Amino acid sequence: MSTFAPNRALLNPKFDGYKLAPLTHDQVASHYPLQYKISQTNVSGRAPLSFKEVQSRVFHNHLAVSHRVAYVDAELRVIAIDIDKVTLVPSFRVLYELPKPIQSSAVETPQREYPSAAFVDDTSLFISDGCGNLYALRLTDTGAAELLSVFELSIPPAYASARSSVPFRIHDAVQVATGAAVVILSSKHYPEISPDPSQSRSKSPPYTQLLDIIWHRRGDDVPVYTVYDASRGAFMLVGSSSFQPIEVAAPVSYEPSSDEIAPIPRQGESIDTDTQLKKPPPYSWTQTSDSVTVAIPSHPLRRQGATDAGDIPIVAPRYTLKKLWDGIKASTSLWTFDRAAEHTYGMLSLHLEKQHEGTRWAHVFSSAGTGEDEEVPETLDPTELYAIRDVLENTPPLCAAGRMQAGSGSGGACRVLQRVSVTTR
């Protein structure tokens, strides 16, 4: 804070820091009821509001702060709050009473805005009635304010608006030259495709002038904060959307894909499907140059109780009639069965001798991957996988150039490895 000036002469080198004591709320804050109530029901049910419009009204600040405070009450009266410098007691006085608009239920009118106010300096105040009129007031220390002028926001045809005049809200007001001020206003855009209903009528002010529009931007949300930089002569708008000129196409809103949307489960509903483990393959297999080893897990069923004809049968995979991918030597092939200690789990291992030594099998069964049987990739150890990868990296260019003979060791690998699916243990 600029008001805290440390004294280096009093610095104690053994001092670690300050311990701040919290302030008591009742000692630093005083509460006073408003003599003139603020309007909180300025929404018509005939013209529904979007979520962003409702959110903007929720965060709307009714107070304009300078060396005094001003706001517009529910009866469209401009109220000033002055605080006594000695007793800190506020006093209320009516500065000006705005004309009340006359609205008919027979015609559709645009949604009104909350009345808003902004100080230009200590004696100049701009007031928006929320219906499309801007009032310039000159304040004095006592008594009512003097009405300087009344302005109306006229929408040019170039803005492609269905309405020539719309309600608006004041965000900021700054004096940029002698007798000239810049006011930031925001209003809802009504596209030309919408119907042009009759506009509301209000009491005629003493005289009305049209506001001179310096610049115009369009966005998807209402600015939440504005500030004027005098050194650059520019305003800064802070909001959740960008504000672009009307000739610039609006940026395309980002639509998340279905994978990026997290569904909200209902009560008692479980949508977590990732917790289900992937079903293991029915068997695993590996091979060498002269043999194929197939491991088939076995789950013996133990009778737990009586069964009847209505029970659902358990179908176990059968491989006795399946045709192998290539021929084998039946006389030298064998099988083993290893049972666990609990006698509830076993492993059937088939050790098949290849009839054509040196031929690399793509599958165990000839029908694998055709829909009849599940395709099970070969299980390779890291050393063999490294050798295959080395062959794949070196032989394809030679095969493409036709410089290798069919049937040679490397050429055979080049032809066959295109059909091998590889997994690691």
In 3D, which of 288, 221, 275 has the Cα closest to residue 250?
Answer: 221
Same domain, 395 and 350: no
Beta bridge partners of 151: 134, 209
Same domain, 36 and 100: yes
Same domain, 158 and 61: yes
Looking at residue 164, what is its pLDDT?
73
In a domain, 111, yes or no: yes
Sheet holding 77-83, edge to edge: 64-65, 69-72, 77-83, 90-97
Report the 3 state secondary structure along the chain.
CCCCCCCHHHCCCCCCCCCCCCCCHHHHCCCCCCCCCECCCCCCCCCCCCHHHHHHHHCCCCCEECCCEEEEECCCEEEEEEECCCCCCEEEEEEEECCCEECCCCCCCCCCCCCEEEECCCCEEEEECCCCEEEEEECCCCCCCEEEEEEECECCHHHCECCCECCEEEEEEEEEECCEEEEEEEECCCECCCCCCCCCEECCCCCEEECCCCCCCECCCCCCEEEEECCCCEEEEECCCCCECCCCCCCCCCCCCHHHCCCCCCCCCCCCCCCCCCCCCCCEEEECCCEEEEEEEECCCCCCCCCCCCCCCCCCCCCCCCCECCCEEEEEEEEEEEECCCCCCEEEEEEEEECCCCCCCCCCECCECCCCECCCCEEECHHHHHHHHHHHHHCHHHHHHCCCCCCCHHHHHHHHHHHCCEEEC
Same domain, 221 and 354: no
Q: Is 309 left (phi over 0), alpha (psi -120 to 50) or beta?
A: alpha
User: Of the candidates 358, 375, 392, which is a domain's last residue?
Assistant: 375
Same domain, 409 and 334: no
Q: Residue 331's domain is classified under what CATH number?
A: 2.60.40.790
Looking at residue 72, what is its pLDDT?
92
Same domain, 175 and 230: yes
Looking at residue 119, what is its pLDDT?
94
Distance CA 134, CA 116 (A): 10
In a domain, 17, yes or no: no
Same domain, 119 and 161: yes
Distance CA 238, CA 304 (A): 72
In a domain, 292, yes or no: yes
Q: Which residue has the tokens 């991957």?
A: 369
Distance CA 254, CA 258 (A): 13
Q: Which residue has the tokens 């050790």?
A: 351
In a domain, 263, yes or no: no
In a domain, 330, yes or no: yes
Q: What's phi and psi for 244, nearest 5 deg? A: -110, 155
Looking at residue 415, what is its pLDDT?
40
In a domain, 265, yes or no: no
Same domain, 205 and 334: no
Same domain, 176 and 294: no
Distance CA 283, CA 292 (A): 13
Same domain, 94 and 199: yes
Same domain, 331 and 200: no
Same domain, 183 and 220: yes
Q: How many domains does the chain have?
A: 3
Distance CA 142, CA 121 (A): 17
Can you give the residue range of the structural domain that contains 85?
Answer: 29-251
pLDDT digits (tens), the chain, 425 positions: 456 677 777 777 777 677 778 888 888 888 899 899 887 765 665 667 778 788 888 888 899 999 899 999 989 999 999 999 888 899 999 999 998 877 666 666 778 888 999 999 989 999 998 888 899 999 998 889 999 999 988 887 877 777 777 888 999 999 888 888 889 998 888 777 644 444 444 444 556 788 888 888 888 888 888 888 888 888 888 888 888 887 777 667 777 777 777 777 777 777 665 555 677 788 888 888 899 998 888 765 454 545 555 554 545 566 777 788 888 888 888 888 887 655 667 788 889 999 989 888 888 888 766 666 777 888 877 777 777 777 777 765 545 444 444 444 444 444 433 343 344 34
